[in-house]
Structure 1
Amino acid sequence: MDDNKKIKLAFNVALVAGIFTLVVALLFLINYINIKQNDPVDNKVLEAMVQRLSDDPGNDALISEIRNLDLLARKAYFTGQWQINIGSWLLLLGAIITTLALRVYYSLTSKIDKPESADIKPSTARLMSQKWIAGLAVVVVILALLSSFGSQNYLARYDQMKTSAARDSVEQSEIVVVDVKPARATEETTDTLQKAEEKVEEIAKVEPEKNTTNKELEKNVEPEANVKAAKMETEQEPQEDLTAEKPKPVVLPTLDDIKKQSPYFRGYLGQGISFAKNIPDNWDVSTGDHIKWKTDIPLKGYNSPVIWDDKIYLTGADQTKRVVYCISRDDGKILWQHAADNIPGSPAKPPKTTDDTGLAAPTVATDGQRVYAIFGTGDIVALKSDETRLWAKNLGVPDNHYGHSSSLICYQDKVFVQYDTSKGGRVMALSVFDGSVLWDTNRESHISWASPVLAQLNGKMQLVLSAEPIVAGYDINDGKQLWSVECMMGEVGPSVGIGDGLVFAANEYATLAAIDPGKQAIAWEDNEYLPEVSSPVSADGLLFIATTYGVFVCYDAKTGEKQWETEFGSGFYSSAMLADGKIYIADMQGTVHIMKLSRQHETIADISMDTPVMATPAFMDGQLFIRTAGSLYCIE
């Protein structure tokens, strides 16, 4: 090919690539304007409909219309984000091809002597060509980057009133702890405390005149115990005082203890399973049949109740207050309500959230001695069962455009927090005793509303998290990532299910994947029915999925073969729970569907709560607890 043909080809390639680049840039601009005008968070039509609903809360048709409009807005947003991601690469590719083609074109034309340009030196011509090419490339790349970043970051405009100290706390994890009681033992000091206890008993048996100044005891106990020992030296009856003041060993619940309770979101280890027996499957809200008690909750919240022995815990919040409630399991009376306030770093104005998330979406966790609660402001607080505040801190205001909803879970001496936001993924373990950061792991993941789940996998207790793009397991002792599989996309809402050594992860617009963590591979996959919020649950070799469009599906957990499906009149935000050989799940209209845990579909009952239900039910022996829009029910 001669130079003239090469020049013509380079010109044509540059022309086509340039036009392509301009068209993609124009589409970017149109998409940016469209996203600006159709903000899924700041939707004026949706706000007007919600206002109408507040005036007419019983309007089921309006409720359905609001949900459908919200779903369409979210789908439009996700589609726009996908277009932006693909368009960014196309725009960059077009700019590169245009630049290379122009370089070739000007390089070839500069070698051809033209009579009218004889007075221009070839070196000068090449230099001018290079300057024009470089300038054009810089302009195109800058336009591409500005278009991409301008479109992707449109949601980062919430007024969260962050102080510089709060920002520093997020980046460096140096979070201020307030209202902390005297130093408490950690799990590592358990043996030391037990040895100190034995030493106290030995000293108590010695004659008073042979009793020393307790120097040996002071070397083995915490500062608080040292102070007590010093006081004992001046007492006239050291034997009696030493016995009365001996330190108590730290007692943490075992897995057997946890099985008897309902301490987390979705029951045992957060897996959607309860070991409670004799669960009721027949009641009537209108007549009060089998309704032991009903308690109105003062503040709104979509979190689920958690239970330890005779106490139930949940939270509520509005724009001015965030509250932890403790309710008597026996009669439903509110025993205490603790305001999560006066926390340094907490925003003066709470972040903007959607109505179906709010500021009290995360479910609390409890170990029987303490209860841990987190709110959409990023405030986390730990309380004793008698309401005494142990510690509180702000983790940084979550950069989540719908609001933070990842629930807490605790095990041994740690409370685990999944903190995946628009700024990146993060999971941390805080000490249950003083809130100090035991470990903090950054994750290669995007924003997620899923909650952490504990599971024994490959002989090791792990923390399993789901987000875009990875589902991963973490060592609970040091936070190291043990395995991961890339299979998720979008803003993940459902938590994982666990069964038969597999991890089940799913999300709308993505996939349903059965993951083998040992092989770090997908065992089987399906995308016919996908949940948006409700989490998968597995037991007895079966897997269950509930969708926001009302379809409930049963699969074979090992093969992915569909066993049965049924369709209801309303979709699901609540997650399915497996208890007493039955499946319990409440739809958004407030009907609790009870089915047999079986490979053949069998309905046991469909019972209306006469009000919407978004929270997941909780169970204790002989009792079922359901949180509705404004109340908590105990069914017995």
Structure 2
Amino acid sequence: MQLIKRFTKGSLLLTAAVLVSGCSIFGDDDEEPKFAVLQPISEQVQAKVLWDASVGSGIGEHFSRLNPVVEYGKVFAADRNGIVSAFDKSTGERLWRIDLRQRITFDEATDEGWFSGLFASPFPARISGGLVARYDRVFLGTENGDVVALDAETGDVVWHTEVNNEVMSDPAVGEGRVVVHTGGGKVISLDAETGEEQWEYEYQTPMLTVRGASAPAIISGGIVVGDSNGSGMVLIADSGQQAWSQPIGKPSGSTELERLADVDAKPATQGTTLYMVAFNGELVALELMSGEVRWKRDYKAFENMLVTSGRIFLTDVNSHVYSLDQSGGIERWSNTELFGRKLSAPAWHRGNIVVGDFEGYLHWLDSETGNIVGRYDVGGDGVYVAPVVDNNIMYVQTRDGDIIALDTQSGNE
């Protein structure tokens, strides 16, 4: 469920929830189905589980993009409450486990959800941004407004900085800095070594926005970010000054809900071309240095895109899956068989595209045709974030905190 948030005099109030399928949440039995019932497939890909483990209680029903990350021979994963663990990526053996609630005092006064944490002891960390591994550290952000760096070998807290704004997407880490994009319209650069703030850029947010914020990207001395007004921009990494801005979303309609145009997907690049997509706008290819539009196509999405092998793969707001050429945005195929199943962003696995759904199924789609060629049920109350692939091994995190390593018994490299 994709949540909507409203800003009133700087305060965040949860006001509505919509099904990304676009169907009404009210109605009778005569309405069209809200999600696809899975049909039999001609299975060409068979999944096999290599190991599975658990990290805390997962994220529950909360909106989150909290994802595992594979680096340094380890799989790092976290739950919403504050448990962070490292596992051996080959065997699943737990190497360390920490509870951030025992290392950091989280400010309960910053919680703005209805009754969130009222009976929790200690107050939950509400991890929602990350995980990202670099510089022998693991970086994460929280809805409480914290950015934390952990030692990748031990799990010890290296530094902790309060940014006083929700961090609900992956920090960008590189060029000696950690950059976060907050739900309140701030882009903040921190020193990767110390956590000290370097600069802050702020933009005006609309009254009603899609829950979440696009993850920033650090590219060649610039910070690329999509904002909640429907624009893409590049900031100069050393100063935070804006280099250029370009409309991506198109606010239209008579109501605030109809005018949602957030750019929530992480920007993707290939060479000097930047790709961005809006919740209620277009998929746009831009010249990275100038922001000049190279081409645009009518696709609406908030999940991250996969850009690889000359193609762009995306899941749109209706859980339709598409493949397009990078060079001109020409559509190669579309698959609507999984509509309304709240698909994750796509991942690349042995020549196929993999998406997860709200019931806990993984679906393998042939990258050339879009046909569904494999399916596996990992359960766990659903797959909400794209699988992570490392050396052809796929790592999946479920809503209830399961971490599963899988491979397939057939498929192309």
* Band of TM-score, shorter chain: 0.7 to 0.9
Q: Does 1:365 align with 2:132?
A: yes
Structure 2 distance, partners of 1:282, 1:608, is: 13
* CA apart distance, 1:282: 4.3
Contact 2:49 2:404 in 1 (8 A): yes
Higher Cα Rg, which structure: 1
- Mapping for residues 449-488 of structure 1, pairs under 5 Å: 449-455=213-219, 460-467=220-227, 468-488=229-249
Please report how far the alpha carbon of residue 420 of structure 1 lies from its aligned counterpart in structure 2 after TM superposition: 4.0
Amino acid aligned to 1:486: P
- Is the Cα contact below 8 Å between 1:548 and 1:571 reproduced in 2? no
Moved runs in structure 1, 4+ residues, more than 6 A? 68-71
Q: How does 1:165-244 map to 2 (within 5 A)?
A: none
Alignment length, in residue pairs?
346
Say whether the 8 Å CA contact 2:320–2:335 is kept in structure 1. Answer: yes
SS at match of 1:41: strand
Mapping for residues 466-615 of structure 1, pairs under 5 Å: 466-467=226-227, 468-488=229-249, 489=251, 490=260, 491-499=262-270, 501-527=272-298, 529-531=299-301, 533-569=302-338, 570-598=340-368, 600-611=369-380, 612-615=382-385
> How far did 1:42 drift?
5.4
Q: Return closer, same or farther for 1:548/1:504 CA change in 2, 3 Å cut-off.
A: same
Q: State TM-score, norm by structure 1.
A: 0.49
C-alpha distance in 2, partners of 1:596/1:507? 26
Match for residue 4 of structure 2? Answer: none
- Determine if the alignment matches structure 1 residue 326 to structure 2 residue 86: yes
Aligned residue in 2 for 1:298: 56
After superposition, where does 1:371-520 map in structure 2 within 5 Å? 371-385=138-152, 386-398=154-166, 404-421=167-184, 425-443=185-203, 449-455=213-219, 460-467=220-227, 468-488=229-249, 489=251, 490=260, 491-499=262-270, 501-520=272-291
Is 1:40–1:70's contact at 8 Å kept on the other side of the alignment?
A: no
Shift of 1:70: 9.6
Listed as ranges, the matches of 1:9-408 within 5 Å are 41=14, 67=19, 72=24, 282-284=45-47, 290-301=48-59, 302=64, 303-317=66-80, 321-341=81-101, 343=104, 346-348=107-109, 350-352=111-113, 359-367=126-134, 369-385=136-152, 386-398=154-166, 404-408=167-171
Q: Which amino acid aligns with 2:151?
A: K
The structure-2 alpha-carbon separation of the partners of 1:439 and 1:304, relative to structure 1 and needing over 3 Å to count, comes to same
Q: Are the structure 2 counterparts of residues 304 and 364 from structure 1 closer, same or farther at C-alpha, using a change threshold of 3 Å?
A: same
TM-score, length of structure 2 as denominator length? 0.74
Residue 444 of structure 1: how far off its partner (Å): 5.4
**Aligned letter for 2:307?**
S
**Bigger proportion of residues as helix:** 1
1:325 CA displacement: 2.2
2 CA distance for matches of 1:613 and 1:463?
29
User: Closer, same or farther in 2 for the Cα pair 1:347/1:625, shift >3 Å?
Assistant: same
Distance 1:363 1:574, change over 3 A: farther
- Inter-partner Cα distance in structure 2 for 1:312 and 1:510: 35
**RMSD, aligned CA:** 3.2
Per the TM alignment, residue 349 of structure 1 is displaced from its structure 2 partner at its CA by: 6.1
**CA distance in structure 1 between the partners assigned to 2:345 and 2:222 by the alignment:** 22
How far, CA to CA, are the matches of 1:70 and 1:343 in structure 2? 40
- What is residue 138 of structure 1 aligned with on the other side? none
Higher relative contact order (CA 8 A, sep 6+): 2
User: Where in structure 2 are there 5+ consecutive unaligned residues?
Assistant: 1-11, 27-43, 117-124, 252-259, 408-413
